[in-house]
Chains A and B, each alone.
Chain A
Amino acid sequence: MSEMIYQLKDLKVSFPDMSKKPLLGAAPRIDVLKGLTFDIPKGEVLGIVGGSGSGKSTLGRALIRLIEPDDGAILFEGTDITHLGEDRLRPLRRRFQMIFQDPMSSLNPRRRVGGIIAGPLKLQGLDNVKGRVDEALDMVGLPRSFASRYPHELSGGQRQRVGIARAIALKPDFILADEIVSGLDVSSQAQVLNLLESLVQDLGLTLAFISHDLSVIRRLCTRILVLYQGEIVENAETPALFADPKAAYTRTLLDAIPLPDPAQAWF
Protein backbone atom coordinates (compact mmCIF):
# COMPACT_ATOMS: atom_id res chain seq x y z
CA MET A 1 0.00 0.00 0.00
CA SER A 2 2.58 2.54 1.06
CA GLU A 3 4.80 1.37 -1.76
CA MET A 4 2.44 2.91 -4.29
CA ILE A 5 2.76 6.61 -5.03
CA TYR A 6 -0.29 6.63 -7.30
CA GLN A 7 -3.27 4.32 -7.41
CA LEU A 8 -5.83 4.79 -10.16
CA LYS A 9 -9.18 3.05 -10.15
CA ASP A 10 -11.43 3.07 -13.21
CA LEU A 11 -10.39 6.62 -14.10
CA LYS A 12 -12.73 8.30 -16.59
CA VAL A 13 -12.29 11.70 -18.22
CA SER A 14 -14.49 13.23 -20.90
CA PHE A 15 -14.61 16.57 -22.67
CA PRO A 16 -17.59 18.39 -24.16
CA ASP A 17 -17.66 18.18 -27.96
CA MET A 18 -18.38 21.78 -28.89
CA SER A 19 -18.53 21.02 -32.61
CA LYS A 20 -21.63 18.90 -32.02
CA LYS A 21 -23.25 21.23 -29.51
CA PRO A 22 -26.94 21.75 -30.24
CA LEU A 23 -28.26 25.33 -30.35
CA LEU A 24 -29.83 24.85 -26.94
CA GLY A 25 -28.67 22.48 -24.25
CA ALA A 26 -25.38 20.89 -23.33
CA ALA A 27 -22.77 19.60 -25.76
CA PRO A 28 -22.38 15.82 -26.01
CA ARG A 29 -19.28 14.50 -24.26
CA ILE A 30 -16.39 12.60 -25.78
CA ASP A 31 -14.86 9.93 -23.56
CA VAL A 32 -11.12 10.48 -23.65
CA LEU A 33 -10.15 8.07 -20.87
CA LYS A 34 -12.44 5.08 -20.63
CA GLY A 35 -11.75 3.66 -17.21
CA LEU A 36 -8.04 3.24 -16.48
CA THR A 37 -6.85 1.17 -13.54
CA PHE A 38 -3.16 0.93 -12.67
CA ASP A 39 -0.67 1.75 -9.92
CA ILE A 40 2.62 3.59 -9.98
CA PRO A 41 5.04 2.17 -7.38
CA LYS A 42 7.53 4.49 -5.68
CA GLY A 43 10.76 4.96 -7.56
CA GLU A 44 9.41 3.63 -10.82
CA VAL A 45 10.02 5.32 -14.16
CA LEU A 46 6.78 4.76 -16.00
CA GLY A 47 6.60 5.33 -19.72
CA ILE A 48 3.22 6.24 -21.16
CA VAL A 49 3.04 5.71 -24.94
CA GLY A 50 0.33 5.96 -27.50
CA GLY A 51 -0.51 7.71 -30.72
CA SER A 52 -2.10 11.14 -31.08
CA GLY A 53 -5.45 11.29 -29.37
CA SER A 54 -4.81 8.16 -27.32
CA GLY A 55 -5.34 10.19 -24.14
CA LYS A 56 -1.79 10.11 -22.81
CA SER A 57 -1.56 13.86 -22.16
CA THR A 58 -5.04 13.88 -20.67
CA LEU A 59 -3.99 11.08 -18.34
CA GLY A 60 -0.91 13.06 -17.34
CA ARG A 61 -2.89 16.20 -16.68
CA ALA A 62 -5.40 14.25 -14.62
CA LEU A 63 -2.57 12.76 -12.54
CA ILE A 64 -1.39 16.20 -11.45
CA ARG A 65 -4.97 17.41 -11.30
CA LEU A 66 -4.91 20.05 -13.98
CA ILE A 67 -8.06 18.22 -15.09
CA GLU A 68 -10.79 16.98 -12.79
CA PRO A 69 -11.83 13.41 -13.69
CA ASP A 70 -15.50 12.59 -14.26
CA ASP A 71 -15.42 9.27 -12.52
CA GLY A 72 -13.14 6.82 -10.79
CA ALA A 73 -10.47 7.67 -8.26
CA ILE A 74 -6.89 8.94 -8.11
CA LEU A 75 -5.06 8.21 -4.88
CA PHE A 76 -1.81 10.03 -4.27
CA GLU A 77 0.06 8.25 -1.47
CA GLY A 78 -3.24 7.01 -0.15
CA THR A 79 -4.98 10.43 -0.28
CA ASP A 80 -7.95 10.67 -2.60
CA ILE A 81 -7.24 13.73 -4.80
CA THR A 82 -9.86 12.96 -7.47
CA HIS A 83 -12.17 15.85 -6.68
CA LEU A 84 -10.11 17.96 -4.27
CA GLY A 85 -10.60 21.71 -4.65
CA GLU A 86 -7.66 23.94 -5.57
CA ASP A 87 -7.31 25.19 -1.98
CA ARG A 88 -6.96 21.68 -0.57
CA LEU A 89 -4.68 20.64 -3.43
CA ARG A 90 -2.23 23.49 -2.87
CA PRO A 91 -0.18 21.91 -0.05
CA LEU A 92 -0.02 18.66 -2.07
CA ARG A 93 1.07 20.40 -5.27
CA ARG A 94 4.58 20.72 -3.95
CA ARG A 95 4.90 16.94 -4.12
CA PHE A 96 3.81 16.33 -7.70
CA GLN A 97 5.25 18.56 -10.40
CA MET A 98 5.22 18.69 -14.17
CA ILE A 99 7.65 19.40 -16.99
CA PHE A 100 5.91 20.71 -20.07
CA GLN A 101 6.37 19.85 -23.72
CA ASP A 102 7.08 23.29 -25.11
CA PRO A 103 9.28 25.45 -22.86
CA MET A 104 8.61 28.45 -25.11
CA SER A 105 5.01 28.26 -23.93
CA SER A 106 5.55 27.03 -20.38
CA LEU A 107 8.12 29.68 -19.40
CA ASN A 108 6.59 33.13 -18.97
CA PRO A 109 8.45 35.27 -21.56
CA ARG A 110 8.45 38.31 -19.25
CA ARG A 111 10.12 36.59 -16.33
CA ARG A 112 13.81 36.01 -15.90
CA VAL A 113 14.94 32.43 -15.40
CA GLY A 114 15.59 33.05 -11.71
CA GLY A 115 12.06 34.38 -11.24
CA ILE A 116 10.57 31.44 -13.12
CA ILE A 117 12.28 28.90 -10.87
CA ALA A 118 11.65 30.96 -7.72
CA GLY A 119 7.90 31.36 -8.41
CA PRO A 120 6.73 27.95 -7.14
CA LEU A 121 9.20 28.12 -4.21
CA LYS A 122 7.74 31.42 -3.02
CA LEU A 123 4.17 30.20 -3.51
CA GLN A 124 4.84 27.18 -1.37
CA GLY A 125 6.35 29.44 1.30
CA LEU A 126 9.83 27.91 1.30
CA ASP A 127 12.81 29.73 2.81
CA ASN A 128 16.21 30.42 1.24
CA VAL A 129 14.69 30.83 -2.24
CA LYS A 130 17.90 32.19 -3.75
CA GLY A 131 19.91 29.20 -2.54
CA ARG A 132 17.34 26.74 -3.82
CA VAL A 133 17.29 28.43 -7.23
CA ASP A 134 21.07 28.19 -7.45
CA GLU A 135 20.95 24.57 -6.36
CA ALA A 136 18.33 23.74 -9.00
CA LEU A 137 20.39 25.44 -11.71
CA ASP A 138 23.44 23.46 -10.59
CA MET A 139 21.51 20.21 -10.75
CA VAL A 140 20.37 20.74 -14.34
CA GLY A 141 23.83 21.86 -15.36
CA LEU A 142 23.13 25.51 -16.12
CA PRO A 143 25.44 28.27 -14.90
CA ARG A 144 24.01 30.30 -12.00
CA SER A 145 24.38 33.48 -14.04
CA PHE A 146 21.49 32.24 -16.22
CA ALA A 147 19.12 33.32 -13.43
CA SER A 148 19.16 36.85 -14.84
CA ARG A 149 18.40 35.81 -18.41
CA TYR A 150 15.09 35.76 -20.24
CA PRO A 151 13.80 32.48 -21.75
CA HIS A 152 14.12 33.75 -25.34
CA GLU A 153 17.84 34.27 -24.80
CA LEU A 154 18.36 30.52 -24.28
CA SER A 155 18.58 27.62 -26.70
CA GLY A 156 15.85 24.98 -26.86
CA GLY A 157 17.78 22.51 -24.73
CA GLN A 158 18.66 25.16 -22.16
CA ARG A 159 15.03 26.25 -21.95
CA GLN A 160 13.93 22.71 -21.28
CA ARG A 161 16.54 22.49 -18.52
CA VAL A 162 14.96 25.56 -16.94
CA GLY A 163 11.61 23.73 -17.08
CA ILE A 164 13.22 20.76 -15.34
CA ALA A 165 14.90 23.03 -12.77
CA ARG A 166 11.54 24.61 -11.92
CA ALA A 167 10.02 21.19 -11.33
CA ILE A 168 12.84 19.74 -9.21
CA ALA A 169 13.44 22.92 -7.17
CA LEU A 170 10.44 21.97 -5.04
CA LYS A 171 11.97 18.54 -4.36
CA PRO A 172 8.80 16.71 -5.39
CA ASP A 173 8.18 12.99 -5.01
CA PHE A 174 6.65 12.64 -8.45
CA ILE A 175 7.30 14.36 -11.76
CA LEU A 176 5.25 14.14 -14.90
CA ALA A 177 7.23 14.76 -18.08
CA ASP A 178 4.92 15.36 -21.03
CA GLU A 179 6.71 14.87 -24.37
CA ILE A 180 9.59 16.93 -23.04
CA VAL A 181 12.13 16.04 -25.73
CA SER A 182 9.90 15.97 -28.80
CA GLY A 183 10.65 19.61 -29.61
CA LEU A 184 14.43 19.21 -29.36
CA ASP A 185 17.10 18.15 -31.84
CA VAL A 186 18.68 14.73 -31.37
CA SER A 187 21.77 15.82 -29.45
CA SER A 188 19.78 18.05 -27.07
CA GLN A 189 17.34 15.16 -26.66
CA ALA A 190 20.16 12.89 -25.56
CA GLN A 191 21.49 15.50 -23.12
CA VAL A 192 18.09 16.14 -21.56
CA LEU A 193 17.43 12.39 -21.27
CA ASN A 194 20.81 11.81 -19.62
CA LEU A 195 20.06 14.62 -17.21
CA LEU A 196 16.65 13.21 -16.37
CA GLU A 197 18.11 9.76 -15.87
CA SER A 198 20.70 10.97 -13.37
CA LEU A 199 18.17 13.18 -11.56
CA VAL A 200 15.84 10.23 -11.10
CA GLN A 201 18.66 8.26 -9.53
CA ASP A 202 20.06 11.08 -7.38
CA LEU A 203 16.76 12.41 -6.07
CA GLY A 204 14.90 9.11 -5.82
CA LEU A 205 12.14 10.49 -8.02
CA THR A 206 9.14 8.67 -9.33
CA LEU A 207 8.70 9.69 -12.96
CA ALA A 208 5.93 9.35 -15.50
CA PHE A 209 7.31 9.96 -18.96
CA ILE A 210 4.84 10.58 -21.75
CA SER A 211 6.08 10.05 -25.27
CA HIS A 212 5.07 8.75 -28.65
CA ASP A 213 8.62 7.54 -29.24
CA LEU A 214 9.22 4.01 -27.97
CA SER A 215 12.98 4.15 -28.43
CA VAL A 216 13.20 7.12 -26.04
CA ILE A 217 10.96 5.31 -23.56
CA ARG A 218 12.95 2.09 -23.81
CA ARG A 219 16.10 3.83 -22.65
CA LEU A 220 14.58 5.59 -19.69
CA CYS A 221 11.66 3.62 -18.34
CA THR A 222 11.32 0.55 -16.14
CA ARG A 223 7.68 -0.08 -17.01
CA ILE A 224 5.60 0.89 -20.02
CA LEU A 225 1.90 1.67 -20.28
CA VAL A 226 0.52 1.51 -23.81
CA LEU A 227 -2.63 3.56 -24.41
CA TYR A 228 -4.90 3.20 -27.41
CA GLN A 229 -8.07 5.29 -27.77
CA GLY A 230 -8.37 5.93 -24.06
CA GLU A 231 -7.80 2.39 -22.90
CA ILE A 232 -4.78 0.50 -21.59
CA VAL A 233 -3.81 -2.14 -24.12
CA GLU A 234 -0.63 -3.22 -22.39
CA ASN A 235 1.12 -2.60 -19.07
CA ALA A 236 4.42 -4.44 -18.75
CA GLU A 237 8.04 -4.18 -17.64
CA THR A 238 10.19 -2.69 -20.38
CA PRO A 239 12.26 -5.82 -21.24
CA ALA A 240 9.14 -8.00 -21.28
CA LEU A 241 7.27 -5.59 -23.51
CA PHE A 242 10.06 -5.35 -26.03
CA ALA A 243 10.75 -9.10 -25.97
CA ASP A 244 7.19 -10.28 -26.17
CA PRO A 245 4.55 -7.63 -26.93
CA LYS A 246 1.12 -9.03 -26.10
CA ALA A 247 -1.16 -6.54 -27.83
CA ALA A 248 -1.37 -6.10 -31.58
CA TYR A 249 -1.18 -2.33 -31.21
CA THR A 250 2.08 -2.59 -29.25
CA ARG A 251 3.58 -4.68 -32.06
CA THR A 252 2.63 -1.98 -34.55
CA LEU A 253 4.33 0.62 -32.38
CA LEU A 254 7.45 -1.53 -32.07
CA ASP A 255 7.56 -2.03 -35.82
CA ALA A 256 7.52 1.72 -36.27
CA ILE A 257 10.86 2.21 -34.46
CA PRO A 258 13.52 3.06 -36.99
CA LEU A 259 16.38 0.53 -36.74
CA PRO A 260 20.03 1.58 -36.76
CA ASP A 261 20.58 -0.83 -39.63
CA PRO A 262 17.76 -0.36 -42.13
CA ALA A 263 16.66 -3.16 -44.42
CA GLN A 264 19.21 -4.30 -46.96
CA ALA A 265 16.52 -4.01 -49.62
CA TRP A 266 17.39 -0.32 -49.80
CA PHE A 267 20.47 -1.11 -51.85
Chain B
Amino acid sequence: MLDARGQIRRLPGVRLWLSGGWLALLVLAAIFAPLISPHDPLAQDLFAGRLPPVWEQGSDPAFLLGTDSLGRDVLSRMLYGARLALIVALVAGTLTCLIGATLGLIAGFFRGWADLIISRLIDIWMAFPPVLFAILLIAVIGTGLTSVIVAIVVIDWTRFARVVRAEAMSQGAMDYVASAQVAGRGRLGTAMTEILPNVLPTIVALLTLEMGIAIIVEAILSFVNLSISTDQPTWGGMIAEGRASIYQAWWVLVFPLFTLFLTVLSFSQFGEGLKEHFDPVLR
Protein backbone atom coordinates (compact mmCIF):
# COMPACT_ATOMS: atom_id res chain seq x y z
CA MET B 1 0.00 0.00 0.00
CA LEU B 2 1.12 3.52 -0.72
CA ASP B 3 2.09 5.50 2.35
CA ALA B 4 1.46 9.16 1.62
CA ARG B 5 3.65 10.32 4.50
CA GLY B 6 6.62 8.52 2.99
CA GLN B 7 6.11 10.45 -0.24
CA ILE B 8 6.09 13.84 1.44
CA ARG B 9 9.21 13.00 3.44
CA ARG B 10 11.40 12.53 0.43
CA LEU B 11 10.83 15.96 -1.10
CA PRO B 12 12.36 18.25 1.56
CA GLY B 13 15.36 15.94 1.64
CA VAL B 14 16.17 16.55 -2.03
CA ARG B 15 15.41 20.23 -1.67
CA LEU B 16 17.65 20.53 1.37
CA TRP B 17 20.53 18.66 -0.26
CA LEU B 18 20.43 20.52 -3.59
CA SER B 19 20.18 24.01 -2.10
CA GLY B 20 22.55 23.18 0.76
CA GLY B 21 25.04 21.73 -1.73
CA TRP B 22 25.07 24.86 -3.86
CA LEU B 23 25.45 27.11 -0.81
CA ALA B 24 28.28 24.94 0.56
CA LEU B 25 30.02 25.17 -2.82
CA LEU B 26 29.63 28.92 -2.71
CA VAL B 27 31.05 29.16 0.80
CA LEU B 28 34.06 27.09 -0.23
CA ALA B 29 34.55 29.23 -3.33
CA ALA B 30 34.42 32.37 -1.21
CA ILE B 31 36.89 31.08 1.38
CA PHE B 32 39.39 29.69 -1.12
CA ALA B 33 38.93 32.38 -3.78
CA PRO B 34 42.62 33.45 -3.67
CA LEU B 35 43.74 29.83 -4.15
CA ILE B 36 41.40 28.72 -6.89
CA SER B 37 41.02 31.89 -8.95
CA PRO B 38 43.02 31.52 -12.16
CA HIS B 39 43.64 35.28 -12.34
CA ASP B 40 43.75 38.42 -10.25
CA PRO B 41 40.13 39.65 -10.37
CA LEU B 42 41.31 43.23 -10.81
CA ALA B 43 44.08 42.63 -13.39
CA GLN B 44 43.16 44.36 -16.64
CA ASP B 45 44.44 43.34 -20.05
CA LEU B 46 42.98 45.57 -22.72
CA PHE B 47 44.36 43.31 -25.47
CA ALA B 48 42.37 40.37 -24.10
CA GLY B 49 39.04 42.22 -23.75
CA ARG B 50 35.70 40.52 -24.36
CA LEU B 51 37.12 37.04 -24.84
CA PRO B 52 34.26 34.52 -25.00
CA PRO B 53 34.01 31.44 -22.74
CA VAL B 54 36.17 28.45 -23.72
CA TRP B 55 33.56 26.56 -25.73
CA GLU B 56 32.97 29.52 -28.07
CA GLN B 57 35.10 30.37 -31.08
CA GLY B 58 38.04 32.72 -30.57
CA SER B 59 38.42 31.98 -26.88
CA ASP B 60 41.51 31.71 -24.75
CA PRO B 61 41.69 28.54 -22.58
CA ALA B 62 43.26 30.63 -19.81
CA PHE B 63 39.94 32.44 -19.34
CA LEU B 64 37.35 29.71 -18.70
CA LEU B 65 34.29 31.95 -18.65
CA GLY B 66 35.77 34.70 -20.85
CA THR B 67 36.73 38.26 -19.99
CA ASP B 68 34.88 41.57 -19.71
CA SER B 69 35.51 44.69 -21.76
CA LEU B 70 38.56 45.58 -19.67
CA GLY B 71 40.02 42.09 -20.08
CA ARG B 72 39.32 40.96 -16.51
CA ASP B 73 38.65 37.27 -15.92
CA VAL B 74 34.91 36.69 -15.37
CA LEU B 75 35.38 33.48 -13.35
CA SER B 76 37.86 35.05 -10.93
CA ARG B 77 35.64 38.06 -10.45
CA MET B 78 32.67 35.82 -9.71
CA LEU B 79 34.65 33.84 -7.12
CA TYR B 80 35.73 37.00 -5.34
CA GLY B 81 32.23 38.39 -5.75
CA ALA B 82 30.90 35.40 -3.81
CA ARG B 83 32.84 36.68 -0.78
CA LEU B 84 31.05 39.99 -0.67
CA ALA B 85 27.72 38.40 -1.52
CA LEU B 86 28.02 35.97 1.39
CA ILE B 87 29.26 38.60 3.84
CA VAL B 88 26.30 40.82 2.94
CA ALA B 89 23.90 37.86 3.11
CA LEU B 90 25.10 36.57 6.49
CA VAL B 91 25.68 39.84 8.33
CA ALA B 92 22.74 41.81 6.94
CA GLY B 93 20.41 38.80 7.12
CA THR B 94 21.31 37.96 10.73
CA LEU B 95 21.08 41.56 11.96
CA THR B 96 17.76 42.10 10.19
CA CYS B 97 16.46 38.89 11.70
CA LEU B 98 17.57 39.70 15.25
CA ILE B 99 16.11 43.20 15.26
CA GLY B 100 12.92 42.40 13.35
CA ALA B 101 12.11 39.16 15.15
CA THR B 102 12.71 40.68 18.59
CA LEU B 103 10.41 43.62 17.86
CA GLY B 104 7.83 41.29 16.33
CA LEU B 105 7.88 38.96 19.33
CA ILE B 106 7.51 41.87 21.75
CA ALA B 107 4.64 43.36 19.76
CA GLY B 108 2.84 40.08 19.18
CA PHE B 109 3.16 38.52 22.61
CA PHE B 110 3.25 41.41 25.06
CA ARG B 111 0.78 43.57 23.06
CA GLY B 112 -0.25 46.79 24.80
CA TRP B 113 1.53 50.05 24.08
CA ALA B 114 4.65 48.26 22.78
CA ASP B 115 2.54 46.69 20.04
CA LEU B 116 0.92 50.03 19.31
CA ILE B 117 4.28 51.74 18.76
CA ILE B 118 5.90 48.90 16.81
CA SER B 119 2.86 48.34 14.58
CA ARG B 120 2.60 52.04 13.68
CA LEU B 121 6.33 52.04 12.96
CA ILE B 122 5.90 49.09 10.59
CA ASP B 123 3.01 50.84 8.83
CA ILE B 124 5.07 53.98 8.34
CA TRP B 125 8.09 51.99 7.15
CA MET B 126 6.10 50.06 4.60
CA ALA B 127 4.77 53.24 3.04
CA PHE B 128 8.31 54.06 1.81
CA PRO B 129 9.38 52.57 -1.54
CA PRO B 130 12.21 50.31 -0.31
CA VAL B 131 14.75 50.76 -3.12
CA LEU B 132 14.41 54.55 -3.17
CA PHE B 133 14.68 54.51 0.61
CA ALA B 134 17.93 52.53 0.36
CA ILE B 135 19.36 54.83 -2.30
CA LEU B 136 18.47 57.86 -0.22
CA LEU B 137 20.00 56.31 2.87
CA ILE B 138 23.26 55.45 1.14
CA ALA B 139 23.44 58.85 -0.47
CA VAL B 140 23.36 60.27 3.04
CA ILE B 141 25.71 57.88 4.88
CA GLY B 142 28.07 57.20 1.98
CA THR B 143 28.91 54.03 0.05
CA GLY B 144 30.78 50.99 1.32
CA LEU B 145 30.14 47.53 2.71
CA THR B 146 28.91 48.78 6.11
CA SER B 147 26.52 51.22 4.48
CA VAL B 148 25.01 48.50 2.32
CA ILE B 149 24.45 46.30 5.36
CA VAL B 150 22.99 49.16 7.39
CA ALA B 151 20.66 50.03 4.52
CA ILE B 152 19.38 46.45 4.24
CA VAL B 153 18.79 46.15 7.99
CA VAL B 154 17.04 49.51 8.23
CA ILE B 155 14.73 48.72 5.31
CA ASP B 156 13.94 45.07 5.84
CA TRP B 157 13.44 44.59 9.59
CA THR B 158 9.70 45.07 9.00
CA ARG B 159 9.56 41.83 7.01
CA PHE B 160 10.47 39.88 10.17
CA ALA B 161 8.55 42.08 12.57
CA ARG B 162 5.28 41.68 10.66
CA VAL B 163 5.40 37.93 10.26
CA VAL B 164 6.76 37.15 13.74
CA ARG B 165 4.20 39.47 15.33
CA ALA B 166 1.31 37.68 13.62
CA GLU B 167 2.74 34.27 14.48
CA ALA B 168 3.40 35.23 18.11
CA MET B 169 -0.17 36.52 18.40
CA SER B 170 -1.67 33.26 17.20
CA GLN B 171 0.66 31.20 19.39
CA GLY B 172 -0.06 33.48 22.35
CA ALA B 173 -3.74 32.55 22.16
CA MET B 174 -2.95 28.85 22.59
CA ASP B 175 -3.73 27.18 25.89
CA TYR B 176 -0.14 26.08 26.44
CA VAL B 177 0.60 29.71 27.21
CA ALA B 178 -2.15 29.78 29.84
CA SER B 179 -0.84 26.45 31.07
CA ALA B 180 2.64 27.94 31.53
CA GLN B 181 1.06 30.72 33.58
CA VAL B 182 -0.79 28.16 35.71
CA ALA B 183 2.59 26.51 36.31
CA GLY B 184 3.97 29.85 37.47
CA ARG B 185 6.13 30.84 34.52
CA GLY B 186 6.58 34.58 34.05
CA ARG B 187 5.68 36.42 30.86
CA LEU B 188 9.27 36.78 29.65
CA GLY B 189 10.01 33.14 30.42
CA THR B 190 6.91 32.10 28.51
CA ALA B 191 7.95 34.20 25.51
CA MET B 192 11.39 32.62 25.43
CA THR B 193 10.62 29.00 26.27
CA GLU B 194 7.09 28.47 24.92
CA ILE B 195 6.47 30.98 22.12
CA LEU B 196 9.95 31.31 20.61
CA PRO B 197 10.43 27.57 19.87
CA ASN B 198 7.11 27.60 18.02
CA VAL B 199 7.95 30.72 16.02
CA LEU B 200 11.54 29.64 15.33
CA PRO B 201 10.89 27.58 12.16
CA THR B 202 9.17 30.59 10.61
CA ILE B 203 12.08 32.81 11.66
CA VAL B 204 14.62 30.41 10.16
CA ALA B 205 12.73 30.24 6.86
CA LEU B 206 12.49 34.03 6.79
CA LEU B 207 16.17 34.39 7.71
CA THR B 208 17.40 32.41 4.73
CA LEU B 209 14.92 34.20 2.49
CA GLU B 210 16.27 37.48 3.81
CA MET B 211 19.84 36.39 3.00
CA GLY B 212 18.77 35.93 -0.60
CA ILE B 213 17.02 39.28 -0.59
CA ALA B 214 20.12 40.95 0.87
CA ILE B 215 22.12 39.70 -2.11
CA ILE B 216 19.51 41.10 -4.48
CA VAL B 217 19.45 44.45 -2.71
CA GLU B 218 23.24 44.60 -2.92
CA ALA B 219 23.00 43.85 -6.64
CA ILE B 220 20.39 46.58 -7.10
CA LEU B 221 22.58 49.08 -5.27
CA SER B 222 25.57 48.02 -7.36
CA PHE B 223 23.47 48.57 -10.44
CA VAL B 224 22.99 52.23 -9.54
CA ASN B 225 26.63 52.42 -8.44
CA LEU B 226 25.80 53.00 -4.79
CA SER B 227 27.21 49.81 -3.37
CA ILE B 228 30.73 48.75 -2.52
CA SER B 229 33.52 50.59 -4.37
CA THR B 230 34.16 49.48 -7.96
CA ASP B 231 37.62 48.14 -7.01
CA GLN B 232 35.96 45.17 -5.41
CA PRO B 233 34.21 42.74 -7.71
CA THR B 234 30.55 42.16 -6.83
CA TRP B 235 27.95 40.21 -8.77
CA GLY B 236 25.73 43.27 -8.96
CA GLY B 237 28.59 45.38 -10.26
CA MET B 238 29.40 42.75 -12.89
CA ILE B 239 25.78 42.64 -14.04
CA ALA B 240 25.73 46.43 -14.30
CA GLU B 241 28.94 46.42 -16.36
CA GLY B 242 27.77 43.49 -18.47
CA ARG B 243 24.57 45.31 -19.37
CA ALA B 244 26.56 47.90 -21.31
CA SER B 245 28.06 45.28 -23.62
CA ILE B 246 25.23 42.78 -23.71
CA TYR B 247 25.24 42.53 -27.54
CA GLN B 248 28.99 42.08 -27.82
CA ALA B 249 29.72 39.95 -24.75
CA TRP B 250 26.65 38.25 -23.24
CA TRP B 251 28.77 36.15 -20.88
CA VAL B 252 29.76 39.11 -18.74
CA LEU B 253 26.11 39.57 -17.80
CA VAL B 254 24.73 36.05 -17.93
CA PHE B 255 27.17 34.17 -15.66
CA PRO B 256 26.93 36.44 -12.62
CA LEU B 257 23.18 36.79 -13.18
CA PHE B 258 22.68 33.03 -13.24
CA THR B 259 24.87 32.59 -10.14
CA LEU B 260 22.88 35.24 -8.34
CA PHE B 261 19.63 33.58 -9.35
CA LEU B 262 20.77 30.15 -8.19
CA THR B 263 22.05 31.52 -4.90
CA VAL B 264 18.90 33.44 -4.02
CA LEU B 265 16.77 30.43 -4.98
CA SER B 266 18.98 28.14 -2.88
CA PHE B 267 18.69 30.38 0.16
CA SER B 268 14.90 30.39 0.07
CA GLN B 269 14.64 26.65 -0.62
CA PHE B 270 17.21 25.90 2.09
CA GLY B 271 15.06 27.81 4.58
CA GLU B 272 11.87 26.01 3.60
CA GLY B 273 13.69 22.69 3.78
CA LEU B 274 15.04 23.44 7.25
CA LYS B 275 11.61 24.53 8.43
CA GLU B 276 10.09 21.25 7.36
CA HIS B 277 13.00 19.24 8.67
CA PHE B 278 12.77 20.67 12.17
CA ASP B 279 8.99 20.68 12.46
CA PRO B 280 8.10 17.65 14.61
CA VAL B 281 4.53 17.67 13.28
CA LEU B 282 5.54 17.63 9.62
CA ARG B 283 8.44 15.29 10.14
Interface residues of A (CB under 8 A from B): 61, 64, 66, 86, 89-90, 93-94, 97-98, 100-102, 105-111, 119-120, 123-124, 150, 152, 166, 170
Contact = CB atoms under 8 A, between A and B. Distances in A.
Contacts of B280: 109-110, 150, 152
A106 B175 contact: yes
B197 interface: yes
Contacts of B178: 61, 66, 98, 100, 106
A170 B180 CA distance: 13
A86 B186 CA distance: 8
Interface residues of B, number: 18
B182 A123 contact: no
A119 B182 contact: no
Among A93, A100, A110, find the residue whose CB has the most chain B CB atoms closer than 10 A.
A110
A152 B174 contact: no
Interface string B170-198: 00001110111111111100000010011
Contacts of A170: 183
Nearest to B283: A150
Contacts of B174: 105-106
Contacts of A119: 180, 183, 185
Interface of B, helix, strand, loop or mixed by DSSP: helix
Contacts of B182: 64, 66, 93, 97-98, 120
Interface of B: 174-176, 178-187, 194, 197-198, 280-281
A108 B194 contact: yes
Contacts of A105: 174-176
A24 to B, nearest CB: 15
Contacts of A109: 198, 280-281
Which 6 pairs across A and B sit closest by C-beta, in order of nearness? Answer: A120-B183, A106-B175, A93-B184, A105-B175, A90-B184, A108-B176
Contacts of B181: 66, 86
Nearest to B278: A110
B214 to A, nearest CB: 28
Contacts of A152: 280-281
Given A108-B194, A110-B197, A150-B280, A124 B183 contact: yes
Contacts of B185: 119, 123
B72 to A, nearest CB: 50
A107 B178 CA distance: 10
A31 B281 CA distance: 40
A64 B181 CA distance: 10
Given A100-B175, A102-B175, A108 B198 contact: yes
Contacts of A150: 280-281
Contacts of B194: 108
Contact of B184 (A89, A98, A108, A111): A89
B183 A110 contact: no
A108 B197 contact: yes
A166 B179 CA distance: 10
Nearest to B193: A119
B184 A107 contact: no
Contacts of A110: 197-198, 280
Contacts of A108: 176, 194, 197-198
B184 A124 contact: yes
A48 B220 CA distance: 64
12 contacts: A66-B182, A86-B187, A98-B179, A98-B182, A100-B175, A101-B175, A105-B175, A106-B178, A107-B179, A108-B197, A111-B197, A120-B183
